[in-house]
Amino acid sequence: MIGTVRKLTWRRSLMALAAGLLALSTLSVGSAQQGEIPLNPEVSGDVEFWHFWGSPVRRNAIRRVVAQCQAELPNITVTETFKPWGDIWTANIAAVAARSGMPDVIVADRLQLPRDAADGIYQSLGDMVEADNIQSSAFWDFTWQQTLYEGESYGLPFETDVRVLFYNKNVLEEAGLDPENPPATWEELWAAADALDVKNEDGTFERIAFFPLYGNVGVDLWAMANGHEFVVDGQPVVDDPAVAETLEWMKRWIDRYGGWSEVQRFLAQYGAAPNDAFMAGGVVMKVDTAGYNSILNFYRPKANLADGSTPNMDWGVSLPPYEVEPATWSGGFTLSIPSGAENPEAAWEFIKCAASRPGQVSWARDTYSIPSDIAAARDPVLMADPAWGFFIDAMEVGKLVPFVPAYSNWIEQLNSRLESVWTDATTIEEALSEAQQEIDRTIEQNR
Amino acid sequence: MATRVTESQPVLTVAPKARRKFSRRRFNQGLTGYLFALPWLIGFAVFTLWPMLYSLYTSFTRYNIIGEPRWLGLRNYENIIFNDSMFLKALENTFWMVIVKTPIVIVAALTIAILLNLNLPGERGFRTIVYLPNVLSGVAAIFLWQWILAPNGLFNAGLELIGVRGPAWFTDPAWTKPGLVVMSSWWIGAQVLIYLASLKGIPKSLYEAAEIDGATGWAKTRYITLPMLSPTTFFLVVTSIIGTFQIFETAFIIAGAAGRDIALGGPGQSLLFYVFYLYNRAFGKVGAGGLQMGYASALAWILFLIIMAVTLVQLLLAKRWVYYETDGR
């Protein structure tokens, strides 16, 4: 009797152990590890992939991602097609409306994705996400949240970005400032500008220290650095003292450099990289996305110093100067499948591959844009560059501006009035209250 | 003083039977004509007429081009006329362009054509050079002109030589449209050629007769050249106005489509032209509704009515100043 019980117990525990091991093994095969998404190499088909990355840096970078995915998905043929930035989404809309000619995969603007999904431009990836058990926790939370429309994802987050301050260390040193400690607050920035501005005899400027509207930056970032929260309970708020103070601060910079038209004239002397104002020495500090780092690496600009020497420019990165708290924000893009695409299964395999860790690390390495996949963002290869660690830390102070379904373009009401503020055609109070009224009215109409 | 032939034409009297045969032949001839025209008629119906009528329908709906149109009645038109400040700004900018650019283009084209008609040596070469810009790609040329009209660009450098400080062409709201006019005056080659052809068609006998009577150069231009050219001028004025109302390419390249940090329409919304605004509405870059094809269709039909009205006014006025040789006036 005792012997039988012992045997039974032993067998039962053996079975339990086997079951446990089996369960564990299916877990590691079926679900995605942090940053690794399962691919199905059996799927075949042609995938037409539209993107707008035509610059020397990014064209080759996306080709590398495509090549990597081709290696892992031998039965799929991916054709990457460059479409100009001003044309790619309108061409896609026309193709979707005509129900033919749309790509299988397209790079979509993550910030507009819920609006575009509501219009029916992209198809829901909800079923495929569930079937492949994609873990949303693999991505930065805000990047995943912004892909959702009615609870389903309409694109896998691909790249995101973060806005930081690029500054010219050579010039800072020459002016007697500490190149390792750039201005961190608005006051320090204003004081530093006294040392960095170079004025001509006729009153125009040869070089300006900083301009809040130069670079990949707008009122929204500065208002957030002044502690303002733009969307409260789904309602955009622009008529607020924090925003008014921000506009006043920006106006001080405009007046410092001779007024709006004078500043425009100054900036119009410069063009695209490598002749942009920062690389050509016209502006000492510039807020731009981390990706600007890759462009600086590509062009290796020179710094023009007062003594006539032109050493290689040594640039530094830091957080955008703040008044209340450091802030930055992140845009980004997803890989989405337009409605009616011919090969959605093959498209999905390619999207998974490109959005997974190897694809995102390859992309980030070339372009310095931030992977939406957190594990990819902290990949040791990327972290080997000390600047990269700073970019990832900067993501931590990133502020999310929630999507407003009733009026996704609401910021246009503020942007369209700014110029009359800069030229003193309207006061800040008028502009903000008008903008707020228009936003509220439009949202009311669209409820 | 031409005498009119007033006797009536002789009328062919035929027996009824013969008349029926006559009309069948006429009918067959007519039918053949229509059959030959059928390919064009089908193309017109399918690619021009049908989309126009469909857009008239969608202008009364909310339509995002991917889903089905939803009937709204006159709401789009109401919103455009009473609630849309950008519509008014777009009209203002477009009318400015039409009123300023048309006379400049006509006068410049006429002057150059008259110069080319003087039969000086090298006329053929200059004719080619004047027409050359029309052959170039529009977009590339616009980029080129952005650089030429930059505040420190070639054009301002040239102005500095004569002691004038050039304005900030594409960054100063007051000077963006004049900058566009300067740029478009580069493209008058087609108008010059049309004028040149008409000039060569003016009978020399008129000039000789005038010279015998002692007419000066200016009198010859004013009383012979300009009236004889008036049909061409009329044609060019009408087509230039219609074309300028539809200005898009230059605005799109210079001002760009609206974005997150970019307000629509360039400095001071000075480059917000009608069709450019229509495009941004259609593709949801402006306003709250995402893709607003219905609204854009309404905008398009309003523009159609405006251009139609302007053209009708010109046609009515034409009777006063356009002289057609065959009229016998």
**pLDDT tens figures, A310-340:** 899 999 999 999 999 999 988 899 999 999 9
Please check whether residue B51 touches A, CB under 8 A.
no
Which residues in chain A touch residue B289, judged by CB atoms under 8 angstroms apart? 446
Is residue B32 included in any domain, yes or no?
Answer: no
pLDDT at B123: 87
> Do A171 and A49 belong together in one domain?
no
pLDDT in tens, A35-89: 467 888 889 999 999 999 998 889 999 999 999 999 999 999 999 999 998 889 9
Is residue B318 included in any domain, yes or no?
Answer: yes
The low-confidence residues of chain B, meaning pLDDT below 70, are 1-22, 257-263, 326-329
Q: Based on the number of CB atoms within 10 Å of its own CB, is B145 exposed (0-12), middle (13-18) or buried (19 or more)?
A: buried
Which sign does the torsion angle of CA A215, A220, A223, A224 carry? negative
Q: Which domain holds residue A74?
A: 45-161+330-395
The whole-angstrom distance between residue A258's C-alpha and the CA centroid of its chain comes to: 32
Residue the block writes with tokens 């957030």:
A224
Residue the block writes with tokens 């337009």:
A338
* pTM, full prediction: 0.82
Q: Which domain holds residue B310?
A: 85-327
> Do A193 and A304 belong together in one domain?
yes
Is residue A39 included in any domain, yes or no?
Answer: no
Is residue A30 included in any domain, yes or no?
Answer: no
Question: What is A366-396 written as a DSSP string?
Answer: HH-PEESBHHHHT-HHHHTSHHHHHHHHHHT
Q: Which of residues A374, A395, A416 is at a domain's end?
A: A395
**CB atoms B150 and A408 under 8 Å:** no
**CB atoms B267 and A264 under 8 Å:** yes
A315-318 and A163-168 as β-strands: parallel, antiparallel, unpaired? antiparallel
User: How many domains is chain B partitioned into structurally?
Assistant: 1
For B261, the closest of A116, A218, A419 (CB atoms) is A218
Which residues in chain B touch residue A443, judged by CB atoms under 8 angstroms apart? 288
Cis peptide before A405 (omega within 30 of 0): no
Which sign does the torsion angle of CA A269, A272, A277, A280 carry? negative
CATH, residue B93: 1.10.3720.10
Which residues in chain A touch residue B261, judged by CB atoms under 8 angstroms apart? 216-218, 415
> Do A269 and A211 belong together in one domain?
yes
How far does the CA of residue B187 sit from the closest CA of chain A (Å)?
A: 25
Region A20-45 average pLDDT: 61
For B257, the closest of A86, A93, A445 (CB atoms) is A86
- Which residues contact residue A356 at a Cβ distance below 8 angstroms, ignoring those fewer than 6 apart? A35, A36, A37, A39, A373, A376
**A24 pLDDT above the threshold of 80:** no
Higher pLDDT, B322 or A370: A370
pLDDT at B323: 81
How far does the CA of residue B172 sit from the closest CA of chain A (Å)?
A: 6
Rounded distance, CA B290 to CA A40, Å? 36
User: Which residue from B minimizes the CA distance to A214?
Assistant: B261
> Do A308 and A215 belong together in one domain?
yes
Rounded distance, CA B145 to CA B147, Å? 5
**Percentage, residues of chain A above pLDDT 70:** 92
Q: Indicate the DSSP class of residue A314.
A: -
User: Which residue from B minimizes the CA distance to A442?
Assistant: B288
Q: Which long-range contacts (CB under 8 A, 24 or more apart) does A274-278 make?
A: A274/A299, A274/A301, A277/A214, A278/A166, A278/A168, A278/A215
Count CB neighbours of B95 within 10 A.
15
> Do A194 and A67 belong together in one domain?
no
Which residues in chain B touch residue A109, judged by CB atoms under 8 angstroms apart? none
pLDDT at A3: 47
Q: Which of residues 157-186 of B touch A (CB under 8 A)?
A: 168, 170-173
pLDDT at A402: 84
Region A167-193 average pLDDT: 93
**CB atoms A120 and B66 under 8 Å:** yes
How far does the CA of residue B166 sit from the closest CA of chain A (Å)?
A: 11
Q: What are the residues of chain A with a beta carbon less than 8 Å away from any beta carbon of chain B?
A: 86, 89-90, 93-94, 96-97, 111, 115-116, 118-121, 216-218, 261, 264-265, 267-269, 271, 331, 339, 406-412, 415-416, 418-420, 423, 442-443, 445-446
User: Which residue from B minimizes the CA distance to A85?
Assistant: B257
**CB atoms B65 and A419 under 8 Å:** no
pLDDT in tens, A81-128: 999 988 899 999 999 999 999 999 999 999 889 999 999 999 999 999
Count CB neighbours of A276 within 10 A.
21
Which residues in chain A touch residue B171, judged by CB atoms under 8 angstroms apart? 261, 264-265, 267-268
> Do A304 and A192 belong together in one domain?
yes
pLDDT at B6: 52
Count CB neighbours of B327 within 10 A.
8
**CB atoms A406 and B288 under 8 Å:** yes
pLDDT at A33: 45
> Do A356 and A424 belong together in one domain?
no
Is residue A26 included in any domain, yes or no?
Answer: no
pLDDT in tens, B117-157: 888 888 889 999 999 999 988 888 888 898 898 888 889 89
Rounded distance, CA B37 to CA B288, Å? 45
**A189 pLDDT above the threshold of 90:** yes
Average per-residue pLDDT for chain A: 88
> Do A186 and A269 belong together in one domain?
yes
Is residue A50 included in any domain, yes or no?
Answer: yes
User: Which residue from B minimizes the CA distance to A261?
Assistant: B172
Q: Measured between alpha carbons, how far is residue A124 from residues A128, A154, A158, A348, B291 in Å? A: 9, 5, 16, 11, 19
User: Which residue from B minimizes the CA distance to A87?
Assistant: B257
Rounded distance, CA A178 to CA A415, Å? 35
> Do A312 and A202 belong together in one domain?
yes
pLDDT at A1: 45
CATH, residue A216: 3.40.190.10
User: How many domains is chain A partitioned into structurally?
Assistant: 2
Region A380-392 average pLDDT: 91
**What one-letter code names the amino acid at B160?**
E
Is residue B123 included in any domain, yes or no?
Answer: yes
**CB atoms A261 and B172 under 8 Å:** yes
Is residue B171 included in any domain, yes or no?
Answer: yes
> Do A347 and A374 belong together in one domain?
yes
> Do A139 and A232 belong together in one domain?
no
| 3-state SS assignment for residue B156 | helix
Q: A26 pLDDT band (50/70/90 cuts)?
A: very low
> Do A380 and A434 belong together in one domain?
no
Average per-residue pLDDT for chain B: 86
Region A184-213 average pLDDT: 93
Is residue B25 included in any domain, yes or no?
Answer: no
Which residues in chain B touch residue A423, judged by CB atoms under 8 angstroms apart? 268
**Percentage, residues of chain A above pLDDT 90:** 63
